[in-house]
């Protein structure tokens, strides 16, 4: 069974990334997902992949590509997906998001990354889209925002912040 990574595009569409190639969804059925090479239209590439319906097992792979693979582009795409995910789902600073996503990235991929000011701007835009409350770093912070004290089912799970003491 071939190993692959599932990521997303900037428009939040699924992308399958096995063996240095990128595949986008062509069609789905009850038991399979059919993927085509992202260059199917532009370069008339015939590369195709089939996965099971939950995208965990590679069922079929047609390596009939008319272009070479690009591992560095795949690394960058995975990096960008991680950045988008962390910016939306975690309450981290912009620099913390970048630092966490840069781990295990090759030097070749780091060299081909877009300018960091663009990456930071994208993270800040995603932070504005997420619905996480901002955590106050003020020592006199005495009220916990409701969004941080209730679950999605509107049950209270955090009554108060006792501070640094062990009381």
Do 17 and 5 touch, CB atoms closer than 8 A? Answer: yes
Residue with tokens 């995910």: 85
Residue pLDDT, tens place only, 88-144: 888 788 898 999 989 888 899 889 998 989 999 988 888 777 766 665 666 666 666
For the segment(s) 4-62, the CATH number from 3.40.50.300, 3.30.1490.20, 3.90.1300.10, 2.20.25.240 is 2.20.25.240
Q: What is the pLDDT of residue 153?
A: 75
Q: Taking 60 as the threshold, does the pLDDT of residue 1 lie above it?
A: no
Torsion of CA 99, 105, 111, 115, to 10 degrees: -30
The full DSSP string for 93-116 is -HHHHHHHHHTT--HHHHHHSPPH
Query: Can you list the alpha helix ranges (DSSP code H) found in the chain?
Result: 71-89, 94-102, 107-112, 116-129, 146-149
Q: What is the pLDDT of residue 32?
A: 92
Q: How many Å apart are CA 101 and CA 82, to the nearest integer?
A: 6
Q: What is the pLDDT of residue 55?
A: 80
DSSP letter assigned to residue 10: T
104: tokens are 């295990």
Q: Taking 80 as the threshold, does the pLDDT of residue 163 lie above it?
A: no
- Which range is least confidently modeled, 26-30, 73-77, 153-157? 153-157
Q: What is the pLDDT of residue 144?
A: 65
Q: How far is CA 18 from CA 87, 128, 143, 159, in A?
A: 25, 32, 48, 46
- Which range is least confidently modeled, 69-83, 134-148, 151-165? 134-148
Residue pLDDT, tens place only, 33-54: 999 998 988 999 999 999 988 8
Query: Band of the pLDDT at 78, cuts 50, 70, 90?
Result: confident
33 burial class (0-12, 13-18, 19+ CB within 10 angstroms)? buried
125: tokens are 């835009």
Q: What is the pLDDT of residue 11?
A: 81
Q: What is the pLDDT of residue 162?
A: 66
Domains of the chain by residue range: 4-62, 71-129
């Amino acid at each position: 069974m071939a190993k692959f990574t599932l990521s997303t595009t900037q428009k939040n569409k699924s992308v399958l990334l096995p063996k240095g190639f990128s595949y986008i969804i062509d069609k789905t059925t009850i038991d399979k997902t059919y993927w085509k090479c992202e260059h199917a239209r532009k370069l008339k590439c015939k590369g195709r992949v089939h996965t099971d319906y939950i995208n965990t097992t590679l069922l079929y792979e047609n390596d009939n590509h008319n272009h070479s693979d690009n591992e560095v582009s795949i690394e960058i795409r995975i990096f960008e997906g991680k950045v988008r995910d962390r910016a939306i789902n975690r309450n981290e600073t912009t620099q913390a998001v970048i630092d966490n996503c840069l781990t295990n990235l090759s030097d070749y991929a780091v060299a081909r990354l877009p300018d960091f000011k663009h990456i930071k701007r994208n993270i800040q835009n995603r932070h504005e889209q997420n619905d996480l409350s901002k955590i106050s770093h003020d020592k006199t912070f005495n009220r916990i925002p409701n969004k941080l004290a209730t679950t999605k089912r509107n049950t209270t799970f955090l009554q108060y912040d006792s501070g640094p003491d062990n009381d």
